[in-house]
Amino acid sequence: MPDRRSFLQSALAVVGATQVPAATGAPPLAPATPAAPPRPVHLNINGRDYSLSLEPRVTLLDALREHIGLAGTKKGCDRGQCGACTVLVDGRRINACLTLAVMHEGQRITTIEGLAQDGKLSPMQQAFLEQDAFQCGYCTPGQICSATALLEEVRADGAGFTDEEIRERMSGNICRCGAYPNIVAAIRQVALRRS
């Protein structure tokens, strides 16, 4: 029976033998696709105009976080599945990770930082605090933006404002901590105050 040292030496020899470089006659790897040249992009975010120079493939999420410095909008899955990156564009909620920044010139973009006015929290932000509708807080900016838009959607649709309706309309925003009952309570609180 081989001892541990012999086993490790033979295993390393096998690994080393499989790491032999490719034959010199192998074709070279294709060069990486060059980045598209940056172009001017003008965005209105939280009522302020920004003039940026962005590659056309930059998502709205990356423009907000990396180019403008608004880190309240979170990058969760980066695939449109969790809702952490939800922002409002002309009052409608969208996943900022699924859209390109260049597509939103001439539109009003509102992030979590833009919901408060004159240092005062928005009614939805205040309700989230009062109802303890968060735990770790990572999803909270997207939840609040989504909930803000939800109120207008329900009003425009004339739909019943039941807890089931709230849950269905908020289903694109995932809370891994499970604060859903408190999130629904916060949304209901704001809806009742508006009625």
Per residue in 92-134, pLDDT tens?
A: 999 999 999 999 999 999 999 999 999 999 999 999 999 999 9
User: Please, what sign has the CA dihedral across residues 113, 118, 124, 128?
Assistant: positive
Residue with tokens 């002309």: 90
The domain ranges of the chain are 37-114, 116-195
**Are 37-114 and 116-195 the same fold in CATH?**
no
Class of 37-114 in CATH: alpha beta
| Predicted local distance difference test score (pLDDT) of residue 10 | 73
**Which residues are bridge partners to 104 per DSSP?**
none
Class of 116-195 in CATH: mainly alpha
Measuring CA to CA, which residue among 24, 59, 29 is closest to residue 43?
A: 59
Task: Report, as ranges of residue numbers, the positions in the chain whose pLDDT lies below 70.
Answer: 1-2, 8, 11-28, 30-34, 195
In the chain, pLDDT over 70 holds for what percent of residues? 86
For the chain, count helices (H), then strands (E): 6, 5
